[in-house]
Amino acid sequence: MNKLTATMGGMLLPLVLGGCQDTGQSSDKVIGKPEIQVIDGKVTAEVLEAFGRISSPLPSPDGSKIIFLLAYESIEENKSNSEIYSMDADGSNMKRLTETSSSESNIRWIDNGNKIAYLRKDDKTGKVQLHIMNADGSGVKCLSDVQNGIESFEISPDETKIIFSSTIAAYNKDEDLFKGLDKTSGRVVNDLMYKHWDEWVDNIPHPFIADFSEKGISESVDIMAGEPYECPMRPFGGADAFAWSPDSKSLVYVSRKLKGQDYAFSTNSDLYLYDIEGKNTKNLTEGNMGYDTNPQFSPDGKTLAWLSMQTPKYESDKKRLMLMDMSTGTKTDLTENWDYWPENFQWAKNGSKIWFNGYFQGVSPVFSIDVKTCKIDTVAMDVCDFADVVPVADNAVIALRHSMRYPNEICLISDSGVKQLTEINSELLSQLKLGEVKKVMVPTSDGKEMLTWVVLPPDFDPAKKYPAILYCQGGPQSAVSQFWSYRWNMMIMASNGYIVILPNRRGLPGFGTEWNRQISGDYGGQNMKDYLSAADYMAKESYVDEKKMAAVGASYGGFSVYWLAGHHEGRFAAFIAHAGIFNLEAQYLETEEMFFADFDLGGPFWDKENAIAQRTYANSPHKYVNNWSAPILVTVGELDYRILASQGMMAFNAAKMHGLEAEMLVFPNENHWVLQPQNAVLWQRVFFKFLDKYLK
């Protein structure tokens, strides 16, 4: 066992690397598929928690096998657990490979498909470590004993090296200041970005390269030693931040090499090429001031592909699919003449094209693009979303597929069409009565047409009148495609007897760059008119009870709810806002990623000469509380550092002081989302109890 040391600004970080004892078994309760009783075909909160959640499908090197993660949640245990499964490439011979109380993640094939590497918490150390096992699930072995655990990894193609991320201290504490105060909880803050998403920035991830073998990992080196920057980037970065060259002599990693206020106001991440032998680093994307992410080498190693945003501070900019000739440094934008963009991509096995999925007219199809001609072909498109596209042959890929009517399943996409390979949730779905999803084109106030999804209740009777829900999307630039959500789930809303209206208002991807960008600097503008257009259009339908319509949403959707509450002129009978922005001036100063607020709001509220910013703040929902007239439910998480819980608490207090009927649901241990099973169930119960009270 080797005891090594990494440095960070003079601070010593001990790492202990080597094998750890692991049998693959755990004494804790293993969460598996729960038993659920479906009554009258109704989708309930408990039913949602019973679905199996598929992710990370990965074909073996020869394409004969597919491994994937399958997670189930336990309401009783109040947590979830993911396990590794395998099946033949045609979907047959499915087998569960692991059975532990700790979730497996970051699965990778090694040894030419004979073994699988993955991450799981080690029972002895309590930290997430690297494990391997045989392809049939036998021979489980823990290969690492990293002091702070491993968050993500990629093994080199020749399987002699590994790049992994582990946390180090984010800053040096003033030891004299804290001398003798080992029980103090105080933090001294002298710059921005002191907290992020749902945590105080006490630690940051760093990339370590180590020797790899089936005996363990050793000789770990922090390739960003002394640099006070993140890699991968918080809060969502993982193994996609690393790309090995096919010859294993170099790798590319992603980092935003900024800190404090500079970090908070920038989206300037770059791709860095690290030479293994020379131990030197080169910035490949210097000069581009937006996000550069998701590097991937072509199969021959001659070309690097990645996703790039051009506009500084604009986190929802068009994602350009870029190529770089590694010998000349020449860069090419493959999607320059296409007004849409990839969400993720993979090289074809022969390197002639790139497969990707991306939002297009309210759905997420699978596309391919020829790397020489830039010709784009639509490979698979239906009333569904495809995601996580991975090639299995030159003319075939596997992908996840979901819609508003069903969660993820794995499918094969080839010249023969689309074939579903898994049926994880078919039995449960067969017991449910699901609402019909239809597409409606709604005229907007400026003479355009807006694709709007409408979900009808099960056993829909057009002769009856139904209460309706206007769904307001967050982001603000997150797609209203055929998404499946376990919180904002359209089938549970329909199952409770509601018509659900989902407008693809201004500011959403899938309808071109102009439509997507229009919302920035125009909060309270055209996108709100789009919502009102959809509400008015659907209110004219004979089956919609126009006097029993609610507006609901989270994040920017919560902002939308608060804004509509002050401008709806009697259209809505109730409102529900989760994690929403209520006071834009406070939001500008409270949020952690300042680049977002600075770009989208137009600038600081004190800049009186900035017409865009002043228009934004003039439309802040808190200035129109005097117009509020309908009951409102507010839900917040106190670990939400993106939109602080105080925003919702202000809104609730304002409603109560204004004399309105109002309720608030507070989760002290949730962030911007509601993730824990019991909290998720409570959220759904409160949601429908409130809606039923005022709309039924």
- Start-to-end C-alpha separation, the chain: 66
Closest CA to 578 of 550, 551, 554: 554
Per DSSP, what are the bridge partners of residue 74? 79
For residue 587, what is the enclosing H or E element? helix 584-590
- Let me know: does 539 contact 632? Beta carbons within 8 Å: no
The span from the CA of 31 to the CA of 73, in Å, is: 7
CA 446-452-453 angle, to 5 degrees, is: 175
Q: Respond yes or no: is residue 555 known to be catalytic.
A: yes
DSSP calls for 120-187: EE-TTT-SEEEEEEETTS-S-EE----TT---EEEE-TTSSEEEEEEEEESS---TTTTTT-TT----
Per DSSP, what are the bridge partners of residue 149? none
The span from the CA of 599 to the CA of 581, in Å, is: 16
Q: Respond yes or no: is residue 672 known to be catalytic.
A: yes
Number of other CB atoms surrounding residue 339 within 10 Å = 13
The span from the CA of 672 to the CA of 670, in Å, is: 7
The secondary structure of the chain in percent helix, strand, coil, rounded to multiples of 5, reads 15, 35, 50
**One of 131, 402, 568, 672 is an active-site residue; which one?**
672
The strand pair at 53-59 and 11-17 is best described as unpaired
The span from the CA of 7 to the CA of 503, in Å, is: 51
The span from the CA of 422 to the CA of 417, in Å, is: 16
**One of 123, 385, 598, 640 is an active-site residue; which one?**
640
For residue 344, what is the enclosing H or E element? strand 344-347
- Sign of the torsion formed by the C-alpha atoms of 542, 547, 548 and 554: positive
Residue labelled with tokens 């005229």: 443
Q: Directed axis angle between helix 526-539 and helix 556-565, to 10°?
A: 70
- The structure tokens listed for 645 are 């819980």
Q: How many residues does the chain have?
A: 696
**One of 105, 316, 555, 620 is an active-site residue; which one?**
555
Closest CA to 446 of 377, 367, 381, 506: 506
Q: Respond yes or no: is residue 62 known to be catalytic.
A: no
DSSP calls for 521-569: T-TTSHHHHHHHHHHHHHHTSTTEEEEEEEEEEETHHHHHHHHHHTT-T
How many helices (H) does the chain have, and how many strands (E)?
12, 40
Q: Residue 70 to residues 61, 82, 86, 383, 539: CA-CA distances in angstroms?
A: 21, 5, 10, 24, 41
- Catalytically active residues, by annotation: 555, 640, 672
